[in-house]
A = this chain, B = another copy of it.
């Protein structure tokens, strides 16, 4: 996948917004870039006609998402059976609060991806192993090579579901305060408060030898 990739996912009615269409994109590279910056998604599914939304971790591998299934047994059972589990997976990155002179025009700068489809439980041990490595590396790139891999018992106890990226779009707002012309002379402060998700200094487990160095993939992490 190159950064010059301009291919697009197919648009469908539900990935075509009814408002702010200029904020939407179906471009594969743009969608992958947002997905690759996050590691936490919100997984939606339907139970007895009612929606359920749970946070969980994910990894992107090519045009596929893997989701960790510690999200209760009911959706996982559905994902394991035919015809799979209908899901909506949403990833949102917060970038800023937009303060305008009028209450009405306040907004949020953000990047989000919404993916629709049918998820299936991963059962093939080889695919499961790849998915688990990807889940570990999505949050901490390089980590999967520096921990004990799951053994057969752990693999059997791990629930991962797979969603092919197919019906998916991204939305982005990245702009300043946008007031109506007649409000521009009001005395209220206007502008953007940037928001970032940052990582602090890693806190070693108390049982680690004091001389054990921080691995390079943690020293150099964002």
A residues with a Cβ closer than 8 A to B are 14, 17-20, 40, 42-47, 49-55, 57, 70, 72-74, 86-90, 92, 94, 97, 99-104, 106, 108, 110, 112, 114, 116, 132-133, 135-136, 139-140, 143-144, 146-150, 154, 157-158, 176-177, 179, 183-184, 186, 188-208, 212, 214-215, 218, 221
Whether the pair A204, B190 counts as a contact (CB closer than 8 A) is yes
Instruction: Jot down 16 A-B pairs with beta carbons below 8 A, ordered by A.
Output: A43-B53, A44-B53, A51-B88, A52-B88, A55-B112, A97-B199, A99-B202, A101-B148, A103-B148, A104-B158, A148-B188, A179-B205, A191-B203, A192-B203, A195-B198, A195-B199
**Bound state CA distance, A170 and B196, in angstroms?**
24
Whether the pair A90, B53 counts as a contact (CB closer than 8 A) is yes
Whether the pair A207, B184 counts as a contact (CB closer than 8 A) is yes
**Bound state CA distance, A166 and B193, in angstroms?**
33
Consensus secondary structure, chain A interface: mixed
**Bound state CA distance, A189 and B146, in angstroms?**
8
Whether the pair B198, A103 counts as a contact (CB closer than 8 A) is no
User: What B residues does A86 contact at CB under 8 A?
Assistant: 49-51
Which of chain B's residues has its CB closest to A86's CB?
B50
User: What B residues does A40 contact at CB under 8 A?
Assistant: 92, 94, 108, 110
